[in-house]
Amino acid sequence: MNTSTENINTIVDVRAIPPRDRHSLIFNTFDSLSSGDAFLLINDHDPKPLFYQFQAQSKGEFTWDYLEQGPNLWRVRIGKTENAAPPRACGH
């Protein structure tokens, strides 16, 4: 597990975002990253289902590092690997 906050350009705190809007916000943020950059996701529960969605849609193009794991707050550094595709023009 990488505990570094290197290359974090954005913090996405989804605790106040309606659940139906969270994943699109997160994937749009990921899509806008340059290779090697990352954002910090803050959530009030373990975002493990999101991890599985990243595996299905962006396998090999992302990193996932828990920086804090509950019980009331989860912080995850989500990065774009160096070999990832360039930023996409449209979201998921």
Q: How confident is the model at residue 85 (pLDDT cuts 50, 70, 90)?
A: low
Domains present along the chain, CATH in parentheses: 8-80 (3.30.110.40)
3-state secondary structure 69-82: ECCCCEEEEEEECC
Q: What is the pTM of this model?
A: 0.84
Q: What is the DSSP letter of 42?
A: E
Residues 6+ apart with CB under 8 A from 55: none
Arithmetic mean of pLDDT over the chain:
88
Give the pLDDT mean for 30-43: 95
